[in-house]
Structure 1
């Protein structure tokens, strides 16, 4: 935790020292997955604050102790672990996701998804007039990798020993990565159909954002669910970790910067939270 905190503090210093225009900062924020530079800056500050609480705040020390004990007893590393499965990383990712996620209500998301589905249906119709294609007319037959980094990401998952020679010829690697996806059926018209299917078949519980996402208590409600589910998943093959509502409330207060009580936790996550 201390090493993680030091690393983030160094990154924050570098971020504060960036000498770039507002336009470039907005572009960097978009590349990082945020809708504005302001949201990106706030998220970074909140993550920094959260990591300081990881190291110094008493509620987190109690949680880490419970997770460590549980990991030792179960022989698993689902709780106090440095990787993606660990509770610390899940909480950091959830905090970043709160700042990244569009704050649509359920009704607004449904309406927006319908617009996406309708647009995909039209695009699929237009692409269908040119597909299936052949090598003489392959404009939309496969994805093109404009950026070398995109092709490298494909190779990370699909690489075979014979592919390694392509790394000496970047444009060859981009072509081969494109053909590799095409061979798997991952082509533009498939992607459009897949997006239309997702937009037309919304899973009501596909995310943890509250239905009234712009309500005053929405952030608190979101983190009650996040913390409770992270703890619940810390020992997926055994008895649930016994972390009561008061400790969860104390942790949620630190993450959300809002008042939170044990009763709030019991009401928001009754199936996940045991009594103290």
Structure 2
């Protein structure tokens, strides 16, 4: 069963088609990879799915809802959470405060509750803190709860961003180049963490990456873009032996 259905999506900037009539599905309960060389349209597609870009044509159906015209905040409320290739934490807030901010879309108490500290507001705040602490413990950053995010090493900041996404209690977790900037050991830790999230949170996960080695270790299914077009779709074994994919990454040999 598909959780997300991308239907004939095109994104055009003037005469340039960043995404050209692309269709694929994100199956519920699976880890799905979207790969391609630089400039293939991966980030554009990611931003379309999360509502940051509006496609020129086509539909995105998420959990039965057409989300093409919805704002990113509304899409988050429906159960979609994302990380960013360039980490976007609140640098002067603590790790705990950053992760608690992931629950913002789930809060129900308004500013009056915050001003008058109503019992309902206090209960909600306790719940948010409990969820955030659980997410921090899961990814391994609990020891840094009271440290400002800007003072953490890059690899830990990446984990904090993932914890914040988990705190929103999503149906779909989208990871934008999660291995970017990580060293070899951090990359291996990330692979294990994503596998644990998939299993223990029972989450559908969508990853965009140029690192096909990482995707091949994680994904159940892979879609490949090149110059905005879909050129392959299938299991990692099938996709990474596809001649079109090999040529997209390595170039086409000149005829003798």
> Normalized against structure 2, the TM-score is what?
0.30
Bigger CA radius of gyration: 1
Higher strand share: 2
Higher helix share: 1
- Bigger RCO of structures 1 and 2 (CA < 8 A, at least 6 apart): 2
